[in-house]
Amino acid sequence: MKRTARGFSLVEMAVVLVIFGLLLSGLMMTLTAQQASQRAQETRRLLTQAKEALIGYATINGRLPCPADPALASGAAGAGAERAPTATGCTGGQSGVLPWATLGLPEHDAWARRITYRVSALHSRTVDPARAASQYGCATPPATAPAQSAFALCSPGDASVRVAAAGATLAGAVPAVLVSHGGNGFGASLPAGTAMAASGDADEIANHDGDAVFVDRTPSDTYDDLTDWVASPVLMNRMVQSGRLP
């Protein structure tokens, strides 16, 4: 008996294509999520490296570096270099971007955006052995003003890191804070010297509005910033070990 060859019907072909599309879509979502995770991990490592570089700079120079100018494009004169310190803080203010050239670090995070950086004025001003002990911001001034440091063991930082913009404080009196603005990039500075649009999320806004309040919390659909900071006890311990303090 002769058998008749049977091909796929249009309905069967449509079902196969739908299934294939779903599988491909799932694979793409998995790859995208994996890539985002890898970029976050890479950026976390950079923030840790930057934090260590900041502390190392302080042990050599007696102060934390000032921020770099976010408006300077890559390759321009002064791009990535710290703005000049003064007797009261930093030229151009205490907020800007990580001075990558001064510290010998990469210019940007894994999303090709610069790291936001804020530093306390007490910790970034010029070192002055003649400075009065009462000018170190301490509740109880040090018995002797430090001769090799811009700040004393008791000098408080001026930044705080919170669980939300209006939430509880994770860390207070922080000398320096670092922020990567994550995958969405809202508020980040670009290598071209321009800035990305502001975020609509209150917690992300806190990380790019230029004040001394920052947020570190679990990522969500509207928040993907990565925040790290120089803790005062760690900084002071390293300053003592290096002989810069007390």
Q: What is the pLDDT of residues 96-136, one digit of tens each?
A: 999 999 999 999 999 999 999 999 999 999 999 999 999 99
| Res 2 pLDDT > 60 | no
Query: Are β-strands 213-215 and 159-162 bridged in parallel, bridged antiparallel, or unpaired?
Result: parallel
Q: Which region, left, alpha or beta, applies to residue 122 given φ > 0 means left and ψ of -120 to 50 means alpha? A: alpha
Looking at every residue in the chain, the average pLDDT score rounds to 93
Q: How far apart are CA 173 and CA 139, in angstroms?
A: 13
Q: What is the pLDDT of residues 213-238, one digit of tens each?
A: 999 999 999 999 999 999 999 999 99
Q: How far apart are CA 122 and CA 141, in angstroms?
A: 14
The answer to whether residues 73 and 192 touch, using CB atoms and an 8 Å cutoff, is: yes
Pick the more confident residue, 129 or 10. Answer: 129
Which run of H or of E encompasses 137?
none
Give residue 8's pLDDT band: very low, low, confident or very high (50, 70, 90): low
